[in-house]
């Protein structure tokens, strides 16, 4: 008789079973509307819960910093437009201020006022994109159409001013390329008047919408300590309750002449530093930009729009300098190294979106995929600035 023992399934039913799940890897992007550009997020999930998220960059890399070494100081201005292509004026502003600080040149008063007006109009236009697309991420289609409606009016002003509607190349080292047209001040003030009314409309439509609050309050909380650790700036840092803004705390150009407040997150609908706080900071910044524009238009003098000493080839004395300005996304920095020639020896750009994006690696794990979409949208990143 054989010693083989025959076993049946029911003989092992009393043994405990260990339930195991496999993590699923999902590629969100680089062609995905929720990534706000050619960003690839490698997301590992356990069902609907995110276990880890890793950003992969470089799909829009154009070697802009290396190209700077082959351009003269003024030629490279056109490349700054392509960094944050939703706020080119702010990018132009940062680079112009950096080179002017190296040259120790005095920019004409009229040019300074025109620059501030353009920079604040551009901040509003950029925030309109941020708010409209963020609402779209949350399932709200109408705010996007409303925001684009107002943004078009700002672009009309820029088109009359510079000839372009997206990439302007308007700022120049020593001033601006063209003087303001005859009814520039009237058109700007009318736009500000309209914008102040529309902000109230946006608040009714989206800001205090019950569904929107439930999708954004207590979601994607980024506290101040995390912002410091990752180098977050702009609305991400201010959304975490830190009222820091280069325009007030490290003034450049003529920003020290204007009165304005720095909005910051206070946890009005949930936790300080959540998606709703970052959203409301941008909404309130648009009101403050309108306030600055009114003061700048009232104080804009007549005179030159370009320094007469810088209408030719620029040569920067040997040395190095880091200059930071406040773009719509945060602190844009230019670390310039000059060897005394007509071309930069090195031009390193500090991108606010780059630092703001990488915080997603820390705050992403543990949230649901839908909340990850909300968190990425609340950061308001732009890949042209990240990759360069």
Give mean pLDDT, residues 12-39.
Answer: 75
Q: In sequence order, what are the beta bridge partners of 27?
A: 42
* Distance from C-alpha of 379 to C-alpha of 69, rounded to nearest angstrom: 31
CA dihedral 347, 251, 113, 155 (to 10 degrees): 60
**Residue 140: what pLDDT?**
87
Q: Are 78 and 177 in contact (CB under 8 A)?
A: no
Angle at 25 between CA 22 and CA 31, to 5 degrees: 160
- φ, ψ dihedrals at 321, nearest 5°: -160, 145
How much is the pTM?
0.90
pLDDT at 2 over 70: no
**Cβ distance 58 to 156 under 8 Å?**
no
Going edge to edge, which strands form the sheet with 331-338? 319-326, 331-338, 344-350
Architecture of domain 24-387: Orthogonal Bundle (1.10)
Is a pLDDT exceeding 90 seen at residue 127?
yes
Task: Name the residue among 260, 249, 311, 312 with its Cα closest to residue 285.
Answer: 260
For the chain, report the end-to-end CA distance as a whole number of angstroms.
80
Mean of pLDDT values over 147-156: 93
Phi-psi region of 120 (alpha: psi -120 to 50; beta: other; left: phi over 0): alpha
- Residue 228: which of 285, 273, 262 has the closest Cα? 273
| Position 15 pLDDT exceeds 70 | no
- Say if residue 332's pLDDT is above 60: yes
pLDDT per position as a tens digit, 282-316: 999 999 999 999 999 999 899 888 888 776 667 88
161-188 pLDDT per residue, tens? 998 888 988 999 989 999 998 899 999 9
pLDDT class of 211 with cuts at 50, 70, 90: very high
Pairwise CA distance, residues 7 & 121, whole Å: 79
Give residue 1's pLDDT band: very low, low, confident or very high (50, 70, 90): very low
Tell me how crowded residue 65 is: count the other CB atoms within 10 A of its CB. Answer: 15
d(CA 296, CA 72): 32
Average pLDDT, the chain: 89
Burial bucket for residue 185 (CB in 10 Å: 0-12, 13-18, 19+): middle
Nearest to 238 by CA among 230, 247, 253, 227: 227
**Once rounded to an integer, what is the mean pLDDT over residues 125-145?**
91
Q: Is residue 181 helix, strand or coil?
A: coil
Tally DSSP H helices, then E strands, for the chain: 15, 8
pLDDT at 372: 92
Going from N- to C-terminal start, the domains of the chain cover 24-387
Residue-level pLDDT at 20: 62
């Amino acid at each position: 008789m054989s010693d083989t023992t025959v076993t049946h399934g029911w003989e092992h039913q009393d043994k405990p079973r260990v339930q195991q799940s496999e993590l699923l890897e999902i590629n969100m992007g680089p062609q995905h509307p929720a990534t706000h550009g050619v960003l690839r997020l490698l997301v590992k999930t356990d069902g609907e819960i995110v276990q880890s998220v890793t950003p992969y960059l470089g799909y829009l890399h154009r070697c802009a910093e290396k190209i700077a070494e082959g351009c003269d100081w003024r030629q490279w201005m056109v490349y700054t437009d392509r960094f944050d292509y939703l706020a080119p004026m702010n990018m132009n502003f940062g680079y112009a201020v950096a080179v002017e600080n190296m040259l120790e040149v005095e920019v004409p008063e009229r040019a300074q006022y025109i620059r501030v007006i353009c920079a604040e109009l551009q901040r509003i236009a950029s925030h309109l994109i941020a708010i409209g697309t963020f609402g779209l991420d949350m399932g709200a289609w109408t705010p996007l159409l409303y925001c684009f409606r107002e943004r078009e009016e700002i672009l009309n002003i820029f088109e009359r001013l510079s000839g372009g509607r997206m990439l302007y190349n308007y700022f120049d080292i020593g001033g601006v390329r063209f003087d303001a047209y005859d009814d520039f001040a009237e058109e700007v003030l009318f736009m500000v008047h309209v914008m102040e009314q529309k902000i109230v409309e946006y608040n009714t439509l989206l800001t205090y919408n019950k569904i929107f609050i439930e999708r954004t309050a207590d979601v994607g909380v980024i506290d101040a300590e995390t912002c410091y650790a990752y180098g977050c700036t702009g609305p991400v840092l201010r959304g975490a309750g830190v009222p820091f803004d280069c325009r007030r705390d490290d003034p450049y150009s003529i920003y020290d002449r204007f009165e304005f407040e720095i909005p910051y997150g206070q946890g009005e609908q949930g936790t300080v530093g959540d998606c709703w706080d970052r959203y409301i900071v941008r909404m309130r910044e648009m009101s403050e930009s309108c306030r600055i524009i009114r003061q700048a238009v009232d104080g804009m003098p007549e005179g030159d729009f370009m320094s007469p000493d810088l209408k030719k080839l620029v040569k920067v004395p040997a040395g190095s300098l880091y200059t930071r300005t406040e773009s719509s996304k945060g602190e844009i920095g230019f670390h310039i190294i000059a060897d005394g020639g007509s071309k930069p020896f090195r031009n390193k750009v500090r991108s606010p979106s780059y630092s703001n994006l990488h915080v997603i690696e820390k705050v992403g794990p543990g949230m649901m995929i839908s909340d990850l979409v909300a968190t990425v949208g609340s950061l308001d990143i732009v890949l042209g600035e990240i990759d360069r």
